[in-house]
Structures are given as structure tokens and as C-alpha cells.
Structure 1
Amino acid sequence: MTNSTARSKKSAHHATGSVAGTGETMPDTGDRAPRTRRSRLLGALALMGPGFIVGAWQFGPGNLTSAVQAGSLHSYDLIWVIAVSTILMLGFTDMSVRIAIASDRSLIQMIKKHLGKVTGLAAGIGVFLITLMFSVGNAVGSGLGLSFLFGGSPTVWTLVCTAVVAGVVWAPNYYKIFERGLLALIALMSVGFALSAVLTKPDWVEVADGFVPSLPAEAGLLVVALVGTNFSINAAFYTGYASRERGLRADQYKATTLADTIPGIVAPGVMTILVIVAAATALQATGGTAATLADLGKVLEPVAGPIGATVFALGFTGAAFSSMIANATAGGTLLSDAVGWGNKLDRHRVKAMICVVLAFGVAVTLISQGAPIQLIITAQALTVIVAPLLGILLLIMATRREVMGIHVNRWWQTVLGLLGLAAILATCYRLLTALIG
């Protein structure tokens, strides 16, 4: 037998495959490729988590309320703010993930080691204070959403939501429940807001024009609120903690970026744009205005029917509930880590600090007699004040080769970080001048 004949028979054997117990062969079914694709898909799904947790946190009732007002007052003109904020958010979230996989300890512990204990403590307290501000909007928003859906007092619904979240916090295997629950809520929100936008039948050419930067008159403080909720440095800061809780390895970085970080951050940006589109289109059709969730629901009804208002309210409620969980978890974790109590979610002190954030949101909601929507807007805008410190610390740590190793910032990542810091400082200045004036 010649060598070529032998190779030919060997190839045929591999292409067909023997049937056990017989001398017969059967053709290759070609199902290896589908199995490989399925394995890759399942592998990608298994990596989803930390990025979507951050997305759920930033996509809360303050974000939605700001988006409704942006569409109501300025049509599609502020869509570009969301697009730019999402790109900057991606840059800082990626830095936080790389710091987590490159180091052997948490972000605040690394800051204490390299930049001093006082700096690390300030960072932890700063994030905690931001989460306290967010907790007010989350508490108010959860009550408003459920009240709109089922009737009854928003205050009572706020108490119910807070009690449910506090109960979940003390459950065993909290992180798994936390992560899977938020992924389910994000899926629900995506459907709700996509349908809301489509049902209003917008002119998509005009929507596309909204990606061209322009600054309408008297939109300054609203732009600050949009940036503060969509470019959330405190949320990016926490991403590394969620990545460590998940057990992310350095060799999973590229796959995690594609399966989790990018879609997890882009998703809330897209949903925010859809909310602006729904509000702007509905209000153009009816000539009305919408300062609250209930107002927008009334405007959506003549345009999209009763289902439009209901679908939007479902999305709003999911956003408030998911943000309430993620916000309190991040605030409690980082404060506990900053004061040396640990950062794992199975520690009782961490759980207690999470409940402190929840309690603050309920207390302010019960005490405040002001308009709840304005309370949400003000609380979210104030977060910009603490954000510059967090952004500077992330950028410093990500550019230190002795900390990052091969995961150190590339030049374009540093440039993107500097642009993000410039944006945060500009919005902070605008906020301060607005408050003083």
C-alpha cells in the first residue's frame, strides 16, 4: 500500500467514524460546530454579572426621571449626552475590572497600600455618601412605580420594597441571588422601554439628529443630572468588587469584556435613550408636558394606548428596585472595606452597612415634604461633587505599572480617562454655580 493510499484511508476513517461493535462506518453529522457554538454561548452567559450589576445601579429612577424631563423639555437634543457618558463610563469600568484582576486585594486596600490609609478611607466614605444620596431616589422611585401600577400610597410601597430588599440581603448566598435577580430585572426593563419607544412611533431620522452635540438654553442642571447618572464613577469604582466577588481570573479578561463589561454598560445607555425618545415623541404628538412618571403615563395612553403606560411603569419599577439593591450593596461594601471590616458579602458587618443605606433612603423619604421627583433630580446631581476624587484614584491606580503589570493603561485608555475627568470636573463646576446662583 502506498503512503498516499494510507493517508487517504486514515482521513476517511476520521471523517466517518466507526460504529461500536461493527465494522461499519457512519457519516460525520457535523454537530461539533454547533456544540462548540453552544459552549461558547454558555461560557459567555456564565461571565455575565459584574458589568450588568453596575448597569442596573446607574439605571435607576433618577436616571429615568432625568431622561423623561430631557425628552419632555428638549425633545431629542440631549441624546448625545447619554452616548458620550456611556463611552466614558466604559473606560472607567474597564479600569476597575483590570485593577481587580491584576491585584491580590480590593481596590480600597490597594489605594491604602500605595496612596495612604487616609486616601483609601476618603474613597470608601465618598462612595458611601453617594449611595446615601442615591438611596433617596431609589426609595421614592420604587414607591412611585408600584403605586402607579397597583394603586395605594407610594410611601407604603416604599416601605414594602425596602423590607423585601433587606430580607434578601440577609439570605444565604446573597451574591448569587443579587446577580441573577438583577440580570432578570434588566431583561424586563429592556423589553419594557424598547416597547415604549416603538409604540410611540418616533421619527428615527430626527432621533439620529440627537446624537449631534448641542446645548439647549436652560438645560445646564439637567445635563449635570444626566451625566451624573449615566457616567457614574462610583458605580465604576464598585465593578472591581463585584468582579472579585465573582472570582474573575486574569485569563478571562478579554471574554469578560466582550460578554459582560461592554453589554452591561451599553445596555442602560440604550435604555436611557429609548426613554428620551418615548417621552419626546409622545409629548410632540399630544402637546403636553411630563414632569413625573404619572404625567408621562397619561401622555403615553392616547399615543400608545393603556399598554404603553403600563409597560413603561413596569420598566420604571424594575429600574428602581434593581438600583435600590445594587446601590445599597455597593455603599455598604465599600464603607465596610474602608474602615477595615472586610468586603465580602457573607460578612454580617457588610450586610449591616447595606441595611444602613436602605434605612437612610426610607427615612429621608418619610421626612421630606418636598416634591419627590425634584428630590430625585437633586440627589443624583449632587453625586457629581464626590466623583472627581474617585475618578482620579481609578486613573492613578490604572496607570501604575507596579500595580497593574501587563494590565496597565495603554495610552488611549489614559486619554479617555483624562477626558472623563474633564467632563466630571466641568459638570461639577456647573452644578456648584447653579446651586450658588
Structure 2
Amino acid sequence: MSIKSKILNVLFWSIVSAAFIGPGTITTATKAGANYNFDLLWALLFSTLACLLLQEASARITITSGMNLGQAIAKQFEGKSTKTLVLILIVGAIILGSAAYETGNILGSVAGLSLVFTEFPEEVFVLGIGVLSVFVLSIPSFKALAKFMGVIVIIMGISFFTTAILLKPNMTDIIAGSFIPQIPNFSALTNSTSSAGLLVLALIGTTVVPYDIFLGSGVLDKKQKISEMRFGLSIAVILGGIISMAVLMVGTTVTTEIMQKVSGETIITEEVVQNNLYKALSYSLSTKIGGWAVYVLGLGMFAAGFSSAVTAPLASAITARSLFEKGKEKEWEPKSFKFKFVWGIILATGLIFGLVGIKPVPAIILAQALNGLILPFISIFLIFVVNDPKLMGRENLNGWLVNIFMGIVVWVTLILGLTNLVKAADTAWDMALQDGNLTFISISIITLGATALILHRIYKIRNRKKKIIAS
């Protein structure tokens, strides 16, 4: 590949980064930095590698088999009574999740613009983002659309990199936070005992998202070589992870004193932090770097929100197409009514709730529960398929080291999934769970046993199929 081709390849795969770096990632990473300084950088490093492993496996399946992830799942359940239920569950979870979070994507983008253009009402920004999103989503070529989103990621990266570098963070703290896993139990921001366990899961959950895996598989050129895919995907995802880490570093500037000043509250609670986080961050950066830093932050926040406001509807349409297009390929082309209808519903939902300034909380709770089921399912499905010698051939099978790493990722997605289910149930039915740490430990032990059984099952099936092929 020429240097130009390599750059375009990275730009293309940056659509994956555009999808996972949204307002949820910005908020969660900022909170992690504000509460625990650099201590949770390792969680972002892990989640970046987990995202890369799952995306690479999904893309490798697509290149080797000629089927994207949705098609591969549909084929795996062909002729089985559970096929319809599985497909509806997956597409329902992806579409509902995208619709529920689309409001946050749009409002996050608006929050960034409001830092730069303070004189305009938010409704104008919401409508403007809606019009721009329709224009981008109407681009018929996935390649062109992906490269456009890559440019948005570059803008985002420059904004947060510049801000983080100008803060001159301590390199020793960065290295220690990145490579020494720990779950601190004291928040520097609220000045109280507070376990970081759920925040660690939130950092992983905002990076490893189900619809992003379908998105990467759906836009991939099936003629691309595996080596080319790995190069572009690796650089793009790692850069996305570095951007998330830069956001966490920027979040470390928010102190208790600053939060008290901007909120007017003496005691800093989780609710106070949630309501005043961006305001405190803006104040902190303007005093430490200069007033212009707020504009750079605003640009980065806009890019993060807008990129997710586009990729969430796109991923939903791609997921629906990949699962239901068999025999109806022309009806699901990017220019078709069905394809546009799916992304149109997602975008319209976000715009309606965005205009009234309300987040659809019940839908978000249900989406968390459904995604809690879907993410482990996809992770387990991927590790089974990439160990299938019939489908992948001997040369594209997982090695034992990759299987160990993917096993760890499966374990974490199971923890994340069950935790999201418990959180959703707790919120919906007010179960009043008293000991969050005990729940977390219990889920971790149960899912570790389940992961061990899954890996054992995979190796038994893999060896049996190898013998059948050899004979």
C-alpha cells in the first residue's frame, strides 16, 4: 500500500472511533478524571484493546466468509426455531438503544456549540445538527461517508490533544494510571468514599458497544485484504482510545473547589457533579490555560456529539439491512426507502426529544437491559466463529494467545451485561441494592465460571471439526 492509501485506510476505519467517542464517553471519561485523577486510564486502555479485538474478529469474518456480522448470525441460526426471536432481539436492541441515546448525542453536540456561540438558542443548534445529519446520512457511498466521519474524528482529536498537552500532565502519573490496574474507593471530587467499580464498567461500556461492531462489519469492503484491514483498523481504534484518554486527562482539572464555585453548593454530590460537569470543566480550562481553551473544548464536544449523532442511525440501518436483506438486497440499498426509514426514525426520535430538552429515561433503561444481553451474545458468537475451521480456514483461525485475550473480553462483556441488567432492574423496580461491591464481586465470579465453560466448549468443537476436515 502507498502512503496515501494507508492514510485513506485509517481515515475510513475512523468511523469506528467516531461511533464510540460520543457524549457518553466524554462525560464518563471526564467524571473518571475529576473523581479519580489518572487512576482509571488503564480501563480506557483495556476497553480500546477489547474494542480492537472484537472489531478485528468481526471484520476478519466478513473478509473470509464474504458475510457481514448480521448475515453470519442469520446463517448460523438458519432453519432453527429461535432464528426469528434472535434476529428481532438483536435489531430491536440496536435500534432502541440508538434511538434512546440519539437525544444525548444531539444534546452533547449542542452543549459544545453553546460553549462557542453563547448568543444562539439551543433549538437552533438542534435543528441545524438535524439538517446536517440528514445531509451526511444521504451520502450514498459508505467509503465517502466513512472518510467524512474520519475528518470529524481528526477535529475531535486535535481539540482534546491540544487541551491535554497544554495542561502539562505528569508523565509518571499517566504511565502508572495506564498500566497499573486499580479500583480506587475514594473520590477526590466529592471527598467521600466511592468505589470506582461501576465507573470502570461505564468506561468499557461506552467504548465496546454492540452497534459499533455491526457498523464496522457493514461498511467494510469485502475485497480488502486482512493485513490492510488490520493496519487501518488498529491505527484508527488506538487513536480513538488515545482521544478518550486525553478527555480523562482534561477531566482531572475539575476540583472540589471549582465544582463548589460553579454550582454554588458546599457539599458536592453525584447529582451536583452530573448537572455542573461541563460548566466546571469550562471554568477550569479558562483559568488554567486561557479563555480560548473553552472554544477548543466546545469544538471537541461538538465533534464527539455530531459523529455519534450520525453513526448511531447509520449503524441501526446497517444492522437491520444485514439481518433482513437476504433475497431482498435491492430493497435494502443505502438509497432505498427501507434503509433511509430506519435511520430516519432514529434521527427523528433524537431531534424530537432534543427540541424539548428531555432524555427518554425509560427507553434508555430498557436499552441498557437489552444491550446487556446483546453485547455478551455478540462477543461469544464472534469467538465461536473465529475458531470454526470450516468457515475461517486454517490460516484465519484464532491462535491460542488471541483466544485468551478474547476470553478475557468475553468475561468482561458478561460482567458488563449482567451489571447493566441489574442496574436496569434496580432503576425500574427500585430494588434498593445496598452493597454494590458485593453485587459486582458475585457477578464477576459467576461470569468467570461461564467464560471458562465457553472456552472449553470452543476447543472441543474446534478439534472435532479439524478431525472431520482432515479425514
TM range (shorter): 0.7 to 0.9
User: How far apart in 2 are the matches of 1:56 and 1:396?
Assistant: 28
Q: 1:384 to 1:300 in 2, by over 3 A?
A: farther
SS at 2:169 equivalent: coil
Decide whether the 8 Å contact of 1:107 with 1:241 is kept in 2.
Answer: yes
| Residue 271 of structure 1: how far off its partner (Å) | 0.7
User: How far apart in 2 are the matches of 1:62 and 1:99?
Assistant: 29
- Counterpart among 233, 238, 242 of residue 270 in structure 1: 242
User: How far apart in 1 are the matches of 2:183 and 2:67?
Assistant: 43
User: How far apart in 2 are the matches of 1:98 and 1:223?
Assistant: 29
SS at 1:48 equivalent: helix
SS at 2:183 equivalent: coil
In structure 2, the residue matched to 1:5 is none
- Counterpart among 18, 39, 55 of residue 93 in structure 1: 55
Instruction: State the AA in 1 paired with 2:241.
Output: G
Confirm or deny that 1:191 pairs with 2:153: no
Give the root-mean-square deviation of aligned CA atoms.
2.6
In structure 1, the residue matched to 2:226 is 253
Confirm or deny that 1:347 pairs with 2:320: no
SS at 1:409 equivalent: coil
- Counterpart among 242, 248, 251 of residue 219 in structure 2: 242
- Counterpart among 378, 386, 390 of residue 402 in structure 1: 390
| Residue 434 of structure 1: how far off its partner (Å) | 4.1
| Residue 410 of structure 1: how far off its partner (Å) | 2.3
Decide whether the 8 Å contact of 1:137 with 1:375 is kept in 2.
Answer: no
SS at 2:206 equivalent: helix
Q: 1:201 to 1:380 in 2, by over 3 A?
A: farther
In structure 2, the residue matched to 1:36 is none
Q: Identify unmatched segments of 5+ residues in structure 1.
A: 1-38
Confirm or deny that 1:166 pairs with 2:134: yes
Instruction: State the AA in 2 paired with 1:204.
Output: M
| Residue 121 of structure 1: how far off its partner (Å) | 4.1
In structure 1, the residue matched to 2:409 is 420
User: How far apart in 1 are the matches of 2:387 and 2:96?
Assistant: 26
Q: 1:115 to 1:144 in 2, by over 3 A?
A: same
- Counterpart among 201, 207, 211 of residue 224 in structure 1: 201
SS at 2:200 equivalent: helix
User: How far apart in 2 are the matches of 1:277 and 1:375?
Assistant: 32
Number of paired residues?
A: 390
| Residue 381 of structure 1: how far off its partner (Å) | 5.9
Decide whether the 8 Å contact of 2:16 with 2:212 is kept in 1.
Answer: yes
Q: Deviations over 1:186-218 (max 9, x none)?
A: 111111111110122222212222121111233
Instruction: State the AA in 2 paired with 1:256.
Output: M
Confirm or deny that 1:210 pairs with 2:177: yes
Q: Deviations over 1:8-50 (max 9, x none)?
A: xxxxxxxxxxxxxxxxxxxxxxxxxxxxxxx621221232345
User: How far apart in 2 are the matches of 1:46 and 1:275?
Assistant: 25
The worse-fitting range, judged by mean Cα deviation, of 348-357 and 313-322 is 348-357
SS at 1:210 equivalent: helix
| Residue 298 of structure 1: how far off its partner (Å) | 1.3
- Counterpart among 304, 307, 321 of residue 336 in structure 1: 321
In structure 1, the residue matched to 2:168 is 201
Confirm or deny that 1:303 pairs with 2:288: yes
| Residue 178 of structure 1: how far off its partner (Å) | 1.4
Decide whether the 8 Å contact of 2:126 with 2:355 is kept in 1.
Answer: no
| Residue 412 of structure 1: how far off its partner (Å) | 2.3
SS at 1:283 equivalent: coil
In structure 1, the residue matched to 2:298 is 313
| Residue 416 of structure 1: how far off its partner (Å) | 1.9
Q: Deviations over 1:296-330 (max 9, x none)?
A: 11111000101221111111111111111112101
Instruction: State the AA in 1 paired with 2:318.
Output: T
SS at 1:336 equivalent: helix
Q: Deviations over 1:360-386 (max 9, x none)?
A: 22233345646x9x9999799664443
TM-score when normalising by structure 1: 0.82
Instruction: State the AA in 2 paired with 1:214.
Output: Q
Instruction: State the AA in 1 paired with 2:134.
Output: A
- Counterpart among 352, 357, 370 of residue 346 in structure 2: 357
User: How far apart in 2 are the matches of 1:224 and 1:378?
Assistant: 16
- Counterpart among 367, 370, 375 of residue 387 in structure 1: 375
In structure 1, the residue matched to 2:467 is none
User: How far apart in 1 are the matches of 2:11 and 2:372?
Assistant: 26
- Counterpart among 13, 33, 41 of residue 79 in structure 1: 41
Decide whether the 8 Å contact of 1:385 with 1:428 is kept in 2.
Answer: yes
Decide whether the 8 Å contact of 1:56 with 1:319 is kept in 2.
Answer: yes
Decide whether the 8 Å contact of 1:137 with 1:376 is kept in 2.
Answer: no
User: How far apart in 1 are the matches of 2:363 and 2:259?
Assistant: 22
Decide whether the 8 Å contact of 2:40 with 2:182 is kept in 1.
Answer: yes
In structure 2, the residue matched to 1:110 is 72
User: How far apart in 1 are the matches of 2:366 and 2:152?
Assistant: 23
In structure 2, the residue matched to 1:7 is none
User: How far apart in 2 are the matches of 1:184 and 1:394?
Assistant: 30
Decide whether the 8 Å contact of 1:145 with 1:317 is kept in 2.
Answer: yes
The worse-fitting range, judged by mean Cα deviation, of 403-412 and 62-71 is 403-412
User: How far apart in 1 are the matches of 2:36 and 2:66?
Assistant: 47
In structure 2, the residue matched to 1:3 is none
In structure 1, the residue matched to 2:26 is 64
Larger radius of gyration: 1
Confirm or deny that 1:293 pairs with 2:278: yes
Confirm or deny that 1:156 pairs with 2:145: no
The worse-fitting range, judged by mean Cα deviation, of 324-333 and 407-416 is 407-416
In structure 2, the residue matched to 1:122 is 89
Instruction: State the AA in 1 paired with 2:223.
Output: R
